[in-house]
Amino acid sequence: MDSIVQAVFEHSQSTPDKTAIAVDDNSISYRELAERIRIFSSSLKTHSVKKGQRIAIESDDLISYFTAFLGCQLCGAIAVPIEENISIYKLQDILGATKPTLVFTKHNGESYDDFLNGSLPSGKISYPKGNATSAVIATTGTTGKPVLVTHTNKSMLSEAQNLCNGTKITEDTILFANIPFNLALGYRRVFALLYAGATAVLASEPLSLELLSNYIEKFNINYLTIVHSDMNMLLDIEDPVMAQAVRCLEAVEIMAGPITGLQIRSFCRQYPDIAFYNVYGATESGCILINEMSKNPVENCLGKPAVHADISIVDENGTRVETPDQYGYISVKGDMNMSGYYHKKALTEKVMQAGYIVLNDIGYFDDEGYFYFVSRVGDIIDVGGHKIAPSEIEQAVWGFEGILDCACAAQEDQDYNQVPILYITCSDPDFDTTKLQHYLEQHLESYKIPQQIIPIDKIPRTATGKILRKSLSIPQKS
């Protein structure tokens, strides 16, 4: 097997009537999905689409979106996923860079329906090769700047195998996810489920406890995938009926960022029978480290390498670090890695060294082979030579009552080079920051104490919950 689309066709023969994808009140079986993929692929060829040409697809109608994604795979075209309701400026940037042959959007683009209403083609199915480019994905992760990442059918298949093997996804899994499916972390979960012959249940409305409870009952959900910023929703359930619904789950996966030790312990205490996974990865490499926190409830632990991932820590010269507990750059080698940045040869050569992708994250490993996250490279705060990861301060803040969210950022300082500034959102509009200041003075080293604590309405985050530290308004020092 060389591709996700081939797995779908195999499941369409072995379990034809099983639900492959359900979205709100609509669903599609594996047989129906395979048929629609063939129709879409045939329609692309009718419109003279050749192998290697790009097709831009908007992630609005999710069943049609994933059908189109796999239809592109089948005919050898390259899918370019774009977010739902994308701004015209972002769309122009992506289209200008990728120059797609066709663009499927709700506004001023091709219609999915027009390409899915044809007749089912006859003849033998020819599956794509593993080394053929399958998708071009937008990201800012490892480079810090908007770039496009290319992935092959083989890398997508290996990523699915990493997820299935590491988080125990099987054909019996019925997984609920409500995440951005134009992003790699979104579509990869669905592809892992399709590879396993499982069922993906997706929602088009924002995640809430009521929605989750209804979906668990309606679809017999046994697996939940959420971004880390939604974690507190599961920990603050007051309705006993909703809490019992969550306890019916077999597994919960947290992704797209770290969670605190307090959150890990609280989850394991409230849901002792649920397997609890933290998955770490990047658009360039996919899921590469997995920690089953229900068995290893250690803060900042990324876990151990996924089945196809060769992980190492390297220093600034690219030399492999052999000593446990020594900081360096997290790097990864394996079949799930990207083939490169789209039309960015120099950048690809800079990030990929000797087959390894050097990520923009600082980490280390211990003597048992577990890997740990320290910080993003650009987020480190240098206080008079002391290097501080913002998470060190943020995790201390989470232990204080009344904090809803927080983020730490650096401010330039004449005496110490940089000092930490803390931003918080609070449940009480009259929150007393001096009490939090005293609390932190008791729990942190002196150089980690924030110079200012600033209440704000909302911590700026990406769609996947990552803190946008550069968007925080750093106060001017008087």
CB atoms within 10 A of CB 175: 25
If you ran DSSP here, which 8-state letter would residue 130 be given? T
- Name all domains of the chain by residue range, CATH numbers in brackets: 4-365 (3.40.50.12780), 382-471 (3.30.300.30)
Write out residues in the chain with pLDDT < 50, as ranges: 476-478
**What is the pLDDT at residue 16?**
98
Nearest in space to 27 (alpha carbons), one of 41, 35, 37, 17 = 17
**What is the pLDDT at residue 224?**
94
The H or E element containing residue 159 is: helix 153-167
Nearest in space to 10 (alpha carbons), one of 196, 155, 169, 202 = 196
**What is the pLDDT at residue 473?**
64
Report the phi/psi class of residue 46: left, alpha or beta, with left for phi > 0 and alpha for psi in -120 to 50: alpha
**What is the pLDDT at residue 92?**
87
For residue 401, give the amino acid letter. E
pTM of the complete model: 0.85
For residue 95, give the amino acid letter. L
CB atoms within 10 A of CB 71: 27
**What is the pLDDT at residue 339?**
94
